[in-house]
Amino acid sequence: MCGIAGYFKLNNATDLPDEQLIGRMIKILHHRGPDEFGAYLDDRCVLGQARLSIIDLSTGSQPLCNEDGSIWISYNGEIYNYIELRDELEKAGHRFRTRSDTEVIVHAYEQWGSECLSRFNGQFAFAIYDKKQGSLFIARDRLGIRPVFYATHNGRFIFASEIKSIFCDRSVPRRLDLKGLDEIFTWWTTAPPRTAFDGINELEAGCYLEIKNGQVSNHRWWSMDFPTEFDRSRSIDSWAEELHELLVDSVRLRLRADVPVGAYLSGGLDSSATTALIKHFTDTRVETFSIAFHDKAYDESEFQREMADHLGTNHHQVSCSYQDIAENFPHVIWHAERPIVRTAPTPLYLLSALVRRNDFKVVLTGEGADEIFGGYDLFKETLIRKFWSRRPDSKWRPLLLRKLYPTLPLSPGRARFYLETFYKKGLSQTDKYFFSHLPRINTTVKLKEYFTDDVKAQIGDHPSLEVFGRDLPDQFDRWHHLLRAQYLEARSLLSGYLLSSQGDRVSAANSVEGRYPFLDHRVVELGSRIPPWYKIRGLNEKAVLKRAMKAELPSRIVDRVKQPYMAPDSNSFFCDNRPAYIDELLTEESLSRAGLFKPSAVNKLKTKCARLSHAHLSFKDNMSFIGILSAQLMVQRFVDQFEPPSPPMSDEYSVWHDDRRGV
């Protein structure tokens, strides 16, 4: 896990190179890679690298080139099958001078061109400069685990792992994209290439860019796919056995490192599964890390301790209070680089800090299992709502919702009325690609009621509901409705929020690399072939995964009802001794200066949140408060007060100029 940055000449009007600029661009990414800084510069291209040393600690410095210096790379991520690919490339005549996976990418690109991407099992974002072709090649992994952003400005194509690095070019405008906000306050994320900033683009998961002769072309190289028919003769045990074997191999590959590797342990099925596979099928000494909450409504430490004791791990725990969330929320927004509508990334930021304090750089995590094997309530809601839609006047079909939410803090009569009223909205829209996500969308969009009239006018009729439906697969309408929901969740929330704000950004903030065994593309593709009725059986989520892991885990872990990972939201900001920034950002003056939200409406919301800080507050009000506060922080940190750092000192990093080719 590293930080990459650079820029490429699009026309003759641009002056290159600029060693001070690339120095600032990599310095601001120091959290992603504090171990080494490096840069390559010539009259067409500049590449920079902030390195977190994990594989080949002594000879894996970047940027790195091939034997004759004609191809250079700046790379963030891991290619887990690099050992096998290296053997294949050596047999084809390639010669290596390092033991790094980085050099494997260089020679794989020489050998296979863009087709090399399909051979990689990993998580990555990299830029390859081909001097002979005069081209730049930028690629992102299948699921979007590692980020890359770009912009074209003043004749330059400029790119980086994080947007703040691009802003180190002082001439690049820094302003929020209001249509991007509109999408975030609909889907929790933007639809690539759009971001929260005007003029800044994100390369979508499973895509690559080619920049040549002043032109930028975008290509998709991988996409999640599902069959329209399934083999009904195959048993769930058969699928579970194949899944178990593949998960063992995925975990083994993700333990490849020249530094110690730990594991997150939440007490749920997914992280317990990855940790158990490390324990039972490798000789790695298991160190585990988890979050405990002061608020017992969110705390799973009982199950974490049970799993740590069961597996005999050396367990570490960080305890998270309301004040911890309030104090660290601005740091999370700085790293997330987008408004968010939940505080959930903040405890994960504290968790990665715990990992780093214990001298670990790498952790395995269970992220991705819910998307691939049907773990979210959203998927079960979709099945119930689809069933209900066939008889919308039925009195008993909506009662199935009560089985999903038996502990709502409402009386039985009010709970039933709430569930039926809330989930019946959009019940006639089963033909819409976003049918599965309508309940979530209908809650989130309430936030947009706080926009000023001017913001609403500038957004206009932007079709935020349609943005993830522009290029759906040809067979999408023929897929089972659960599979359509899975595809949309992976396309939007997985890469845009869960692997970003809750993943890469909060782990990289503390120089920690997260690795995801469930997002091995072989596991994802196997999961796509498993029939939907083996993913959710009745209302039992992830049935095939539970069957696959039943021999490794205690029955209490396998059979427990999933507790979605959540954290205290607005009540975190109304505790005693709350930080001053909260009130400062929500004054009438601050709100008016930012120009996004109506001060009078925000003040009413703030008063309501304070009054009900120890009681039940609706999802709508919680999301609205967090979304408004995070957007105000965005304006403050990135628009009003952004200041690039000084570049590294000359003895802090290595610089290769084109007159030192091959060095």
Strands 201-202 and 149-153: antiparallel
Token duo for residue 483? 């599979």
**Alpha carbon separation from 388 to 383, 391, 408, 423 (Å, rounded):** 9, 5, 21, 10
pLDDT of residue 425: 79
Task: With beta carbons less than 8 A apart as the criterion, state whether 470 and 622 touch.
Answer: no
CA distance 400 to 394: 11
Q: What is the pLDDT of residue 637?
A: 97
The mean-pLDDT minimum among 24-28, 121-125, 518-522, 557-561 falls in 557-561
* Higher pLDDT pick, 661 / 53: 53
- pLDDT 10s digits, 347-364: 999 999 999 999 999 999
Concatenating the DSSP letter of every residue in 522-560 gives: HHHHHHHHS-HHHHSBTTBTTHHHHHHHTTTS-HHHHHS
pLDDT in tens, 253-283: 999 999 999 999 999 999 999 999 999 999 9
Would you call 165 helix, strand, or coil by DSSP?
A: helix
- Please tell me what DSSP assigns to residue 189: S
Q: Say which residue the tokens 């294949």 belong to.
A: 88
What would the pLDDT profile of 416-474 be if each residue is shown by its tens digit? 665 667 777 778 899 999 999 999 999 999 999 999 999 999 999 999 999 999 999 99
Calpha distance 476→467 (Å, rounded): 15
Report d(CA 103, CA 221) in Å as an integer. Answer: 22
- CA dihedral sign of residues 458, 463, 464, 465: positive
Local structure of 318: helix, strand or coil = strand
Q: Which backbone phi and psi does 626 adopt, to 5 degrees? A: -65, -40
**Bridging pattern class, strands 215-220 and 261-264:** unpaired
* pLDDT at residue 413, rounded to an integer: 56
Q: Which two tokens stand for residue 610?
A: 């304070």
**Which backbone phi and psi does 232 adopt, to 5 degrees?**
-80, -5
Quickly tell me which residue has 């926009």 as its tokens: 451
pLDDT in tens, 83-115: 999 999 999 999 999 999 999 999 999 999 999
**Looking at this protein, which amino acid is placed at residue 493?**
L
Beta bridge partners of residue 217, listed in sequence order: 210
**Residue 409 confidence (pLDDT):** 55
Q: Is the pLDDT of residue 57 over 80?
A: no
Provide the CB-side half-sphere exposure for 53 (13 A, CA): 15
Binned at pLDDT 50, 70 and 90, residue 412 comes out as low
DSSP code at position 654: E
Reduced to 3 states, what is the DSSP secondary structure of residue 627? Answer: helix
SS (HEC) of 338-407 = CCCCCCCHHHHHHHHHHHHHCCCCEEECCCCHHHHHCCCHHHHHHHHHHHHHCCCCCCCHHHHHHHHCCC
Q: Which amino acid belongs to residue 34?
A: P
Residues identified as active-site? 2
Of the candidates 95, 8, 255, which has an alpha carbon nearest to the alpha carbon of residue 662? 95
Query: What confidence score (pLDDT) does residue 463 get?
Result: 95
- Cβ pair 439, 381 in contact under 8 A: yes
Q: Which residue from 155, 149, 139, 147 is spatially nearest to 201, judged by alpha carbons?
A: 149
Residue 304 pLDDT grade (very low, low, confident, very high; cuts 50, 70, 90): very high
Per the model's pLDDT, the better-predicted residue between 77 and 404 turns out to be: 77
Q: pLDDT-derived band of residue 387, with 50, 70 and 90 as boundaries?
A: confident
The answer to whether 46 and 17 are in contact (CB under 8 A) is yes
Q: Where in the chain is the domain with CATH 3.60.20.10?
A: 3-222
Structure tokens at 148: 């890359």
pLDDT at 659 over 70: no
Q: What is the pLDDT of residue 418?
A: 59
The whole-chain average pLDDT of the chain stands at 92
Each as own residue / partner, the long-range contacts of residues 137-140 (CB below 8 Å, 24 or more positions apart, any chain) are 137/109, 137/208, 137/209, 137/210, 137/211, 138/203, 138/208, 138/209, 138/211, 139/114, 139/207, 139/208, 139/209, 139/221, 140/203, 140/204, 140/205, 140/206, 140/207, 140/208
| DSSP secondary structure, 78-122, as one string | EETTHHHHHHHHHHTT---SS--HHHHHHHHHHHHGGGGGGG--E
Digit-coded pLDDT (tens) for 327-346: 999 999 999 999 999 999 99
Given this model, what pLDDT does residue 416 score? 62
Domain with CATH 3.40.50.620 in the chain: 236-372+486-559
Highest-confidence segment of 122-126, 404-408, 573-577, 646-650: 122-126
List the beta bridge partners of residue 149: 160, 202
Higher-scoring residue by pLDDT: 132, 617: 132
Is the pTM higher than 0.85? The answer reads yes
Q: What class is the 236-372+486-559 domain?
A: alpha beta
Q: Supply φ then ψ for residue 324, to 5 degrees.
A: -60, -40
* C-beta of residue 594 within 8 angstroms of C-beta of residue 454: no
User: CATH second-level architecture of 3-222?
Assistant: 4-Layer Sandwich (3.60)
CA 102 – CA 475 distance, rounded (Å): 37
Q: Name the residue with tokens 């590797």.
A: 261
What's phi and psi for 74, nearest 5 deg? -125, 130
